[in-house]
């Protein structure tokens, strides 16, 4: 006798709108074939997670696998993703030795995904500092989920600043594709002047990272990019706002007819300038952590539905680039994939908020913006069977558990009490993390092209 389903997962099912107690998700092949409550249907395999929460596998819309190691960095970062309940990542294009600025580089990166990835990956594309406009249409047709440009130059090749006339022309081309363009939003002139002044005065301790990147450095850039968006019709997205005001500005441009959105990174929902002082180089990211009052305002905007989604901006720099007593000598960026699900669950629970908000803002909304929904980001019939199993409890996050390469086994959340851990991660029906070990091989992740324009 044949049974109708390959796998049935039992637990409390959490969607973006409700929790189904004593539920099940039935899988046929790699997709969700039935969802329900009560007595589960027969299957080849029944996986009992009763008493735990089953959410859609998280979709992280912003991370950097390949800033330091190049594409082989995909392997360790996506292992961390699997252990952190993340089943789809949308990877930034600023890779060494070459960013994703053409269809041919994109094809090579997709081949690297097929070789190294443990979870599914969508990809951003970008343009060269000059002369890159001709590649925009081809990159969109080849399946990238979004473009990424920057108002701030970290490197003239890998991470260039795109000047205003070039950005205007690029936005006009990107508008024709229908894809969003995410922007790293910091005003270069203001930051450089303040940094030069701080260095000249001998101010190199950690707090000066925040003082040289004040809120105005972000909001100046926000206004510029949204004005360019309004002028061209492009969907312009703030790649990370550490400020509630960034979301207010986006909302004001939407009211004027613009396609304007922004995302928060999880660190801006919990970290403050005190954490920057405590962590030193380990707490350096751009934009910097803000005040405790700003964190409260960020939560206000999230609950009000004004934040497109929450990401990690995962950037796994080796620890030796994060330990200088001169804050300006450290690389900017934090690892966040492996702590993503436990931390988001904890932050919501500490505020008495529903885990449905995690399904909504760390999976569904992200997948929608990147054109991956409903294949990704939802517990829904016909969607990929990507699931995150959360176990409530009292845990302390230990960076020794990080499953990335040894040099990258550190976390700014080391020692934080968590109210949940990831009991299992399921990618297209297969358990790839069982709560203690990675169960998938490198290359089991796939490239996911944008499904919806
Ligand atoms: Zn980033």
Helix (H) or strand (E) holding 419: strand 417-427
pLDDT score of 154: 93
Helices (H), 202-267: 207-211, 215-232, 244-255
Q: How would DSSP label each residue in 78-125? A: HHHHHHTTEEEEEE-S--SS--S-SHHHHHHHHHHHHHH-SSEEEEEE
Q: Please tell me the distance between residue 182's alpha carbon and the centre of ligand 1 in angstroms.
A: 10
Q: Please tell me the distance between residue 331's alpha carbon and the centre of ligand 1 in angstroms.
A: 12
For residue 314, the number of C-alpha atoms closer than 13 Å in the C-beta half-sphere is: 33
259-262 and 86-91 strand pairing: unpaired
Q: Please tell me the distance between residue 22's alpha carbon and the centre of ligand 1 in angstroms.
A: 38
Residue owning tokens 């885990």: 355
Q: Please tell me the distance between residue 330's alpha carbon and the centre of ligand 1 in angstroms.
A: 16
* Mean pLDDT of the region 420-443: 97
Helix (H) or strand (E) holding 54: strand 43-56
Model confidence over 330-362: pLDDT tens digits? 999 999 999 999 999 999 999 999 999 999 999
Q: Please tell me the distance between residue 44's alpha carbon and the centre of ligand 1 in angstroms.
A: 42
pLDDT score of 25: 98
CB under 8 Å to 257, separation ≥6 — which residues? 230
Q: How far is CA 291 from the centre of its chain?
A: 22
Q: Please tell me the distance between residue 48's alpha carbon and the centre of ligand 1 in angstroms.
A: 37
Q: Please tell me the distance between residue 25's alpha carbon and the centre of ligand 1 in angstroms.
A: 34
Q: Please tell me the distance between residue 90's alpha carbon and the centre of ligand 1 in angstroms.
A: 11
Count CB atoms within 10 A of the CB of residue 395.
15
Q: Please tell me the distance between residue 400's alpha carbon and the centre of ligand 1 in angstroms.
A: 24
Find, among 54, 55, 16, the residue nearest to 356 by Cα: 16
pLDDT score of 453: 75
Residue owning tokens 């392997």: 75
Q: Please tell me the distance between residue 107's alpha carbon and the centre of ligand 1 in angstroms.
A: 22
DSSP state of 381: T
Q: Please tell me the distance between residue 290's alpha carbon and the centre of ligand 1 in angstroms.
A: 17
How many secondary structure helices (H) and strands (E) does the chain include? 13, 16
pTM of the prediction?
0.97
Model confidence over 224-275: pLDDT tens digits? 999 999 999 999 999 999 999 999 999 999 999 999 999 999 999 999 999 9
Q: Please tell me the distance between residue 380's alpha carbon and the centre of ligand 1 in angstroms.
A: 30
Q: Please tell me the distance between residue 121's alpha carbon and the centre of ligand 1 in angstroms.
A: 16
Cis-peptide into 97, omega within 30 deg: yes
Q: Please tell me the distance between residue 285's alpha carbon and the centre of ligand 1 in angstroms.
A: 9
Are 140 and 177 in contact, with CB atoms under 8 Å apart? yes
* Mean pLDDT of the region 31-39: 97
Model confidence at 2: pLDDT above 70: no
Q: How far is CA 253 from the centre of its chain?
A: 24
pLDDT score of 383: 98
Q: Please tell me the distance between residue 92's alpha carbon and the centre of ligand 1 in angstroms.
A: 7
DSSP state of 355: T
Q: Which value, in Å, is the radius of gyration of the alpha carbons in the chain?
A: 21
pLDDT score of 1: 47
Are 217 and 209 in contact, with CB atoms under 8 Å apart? no
**CA separation for the pair 402, 410 (Å, rounded):** 7
Q: Please tell me the distance between residue 288's alpha carbon and the centre of ligand 1 in angstroms.
A: 12
Instruction: Give the mean pLDDT of the chain.
Output: 97
Q: Please tell me the distance between residue 232's alpha carbon and the centre of ligand 1 in angstroms.
A: 24
Q: Please count the residues of the chain.
A: 453
pLDDT score of 452: 84
Find, among 449, 424, 444, 427, the residue nearest to 32 by Cα: 427
Q: Please tell me the distance between residue 99's alpha carbon and the centre of ligand 1 in angstroms.
A: 14
Q: Please tell me the distance between residue 63's alpha carbon and the centre of ligand 1 in angstroms.
A: 6
Reduced to 3 states (helix: H, G, I; strand: E, B; else coil), residue 423 is strand
Q: What percent of the chain has pLDDT over 90?
A: 98
Model confidence over 293-344: pLDDT tens digits? 999 999 999 999 999 999 999 999 999 999 999 999 999 999 999 999 999 9
Model confidence over 39-90: pLDDT tens digits? 999 999 999 999 999 999 999 999 999 999 999 999 999 999 999 999 999 9
Q: Please tell me the distance between residue 453's alpha carbon and the centre of ligand 1 in angstroms.
A: 23
The class of domain 57-369 in CATH terms is alpha beta
Q: Please tell me the distance between residue 62's alpha carbon and the centre of ligand 1 in angstroms.
A: 6
Q: Cα(first)–Cα(last) distance of the chain, in Å?
A: 43
Q: Please tell me the distance between residue 125's alpha carbon and the centre of ligand 1 in angstroms.
A: 13
Model confidence at 441: pLDDT above 80: yes
Distances 6 to 34, 383, 421 between C-alpha atoms, Å: 11, 15, 26
Find, among 134, 127, 140, 138, the residue nearest to 167 by Cα: 127
Q: How far is CA 216 from the centre of its chain?
A: 24
Q: Please tell me the distance between residue 313's alpha carbon and the centre of ligand 1 in angstroms.
A: 5
């Amino acid at each position: 006798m044949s049974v109708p389903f390959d796998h049935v997962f039992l637990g409390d099912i959490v969607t973006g709108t409700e929790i189904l107690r004593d539920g099940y998700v039935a899988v046929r092949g790699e997709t969700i074939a039935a969802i329900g409550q009560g007595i589960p249907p027969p299957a080849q395999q029944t996986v009992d997670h009763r008493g735990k929460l089953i959410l859609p596998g998280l979709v992280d819309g912003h991370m950097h696998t390949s800033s330091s190691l190049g594409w082989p960095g995909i392997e360790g970062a996506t292992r961390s993703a699997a252990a952190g309940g993340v089943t789809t990542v949308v990877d930034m294009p600023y890779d060494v030795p070459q960013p994703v600025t053409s269809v041919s580089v994109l094809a090579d990166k997709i081949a690297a995904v097929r070789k190294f990835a443990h979870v599914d990956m969508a990809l951003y594309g970008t343009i060269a500092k000059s002369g890159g406009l001709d590649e925009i249409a081809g990159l969109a047709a080849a399946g990238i989920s979004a473009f990424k440009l920057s108002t701030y130059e970290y490197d003239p090749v890998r991470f260039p600043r795109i000047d205003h006339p070039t950005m205007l022309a690029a936005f006009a081309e990107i508008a024709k594709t229908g894809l969003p363009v995410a922007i790293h939003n910091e005003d270069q002139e203001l930051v450089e002047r303040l940094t030069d002044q701080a260095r000249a005065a001998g101010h190199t301790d950690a707090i000066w990272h925040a003082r040289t990147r004040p809120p105005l450095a972000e909001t100046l850039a926000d206004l510029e990019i949204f004005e360019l968006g309004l002028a061209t019709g492009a969907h312009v997205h703030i790649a990370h706002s550490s400020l509630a005001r960034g979301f207010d500005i986006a909302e004001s441009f939407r009211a004027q007819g613009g396609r304007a959105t922004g995302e928060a990174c999880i660190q801006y929902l919990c970290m403050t300038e005190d954490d920057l002082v405590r962590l030193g180089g380990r707490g350096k990211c751009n934009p910097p952590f803000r005040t405790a009052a700003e964190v409260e305002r960020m939560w206000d905007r999230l609950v009000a539905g004004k934040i497109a989604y929450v990401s990690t901006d995962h950037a796994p720099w080796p620890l030796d680039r994060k330990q200088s007593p001169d804050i300006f000598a450290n690389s900017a960026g934090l690892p966040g994939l492996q702590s993503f699900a436990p931390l988001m669950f904890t932050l919501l629970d500490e505020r008495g908020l529903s885990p449905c908000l995690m399904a909504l803002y760390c999976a569904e909304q992200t997948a929608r913006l990147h054109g991956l929904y409903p294949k990704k980001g939802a517990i829904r019939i016909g969607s990929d069977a990507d699931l995150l199993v959360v176990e409530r409890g009292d845990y302390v996050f230990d960076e020794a558990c990080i499953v990335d390469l040894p040099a990258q086994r550190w976390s700014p959340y080391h020692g934080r009490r968590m109210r949940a851990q990831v009991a299992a991660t399921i990618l297209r029906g297969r358990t790839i993390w069982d709560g203690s070990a990675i169960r998938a091989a490198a290359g089991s992740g796939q490239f996911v092209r944008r499904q919806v324009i």
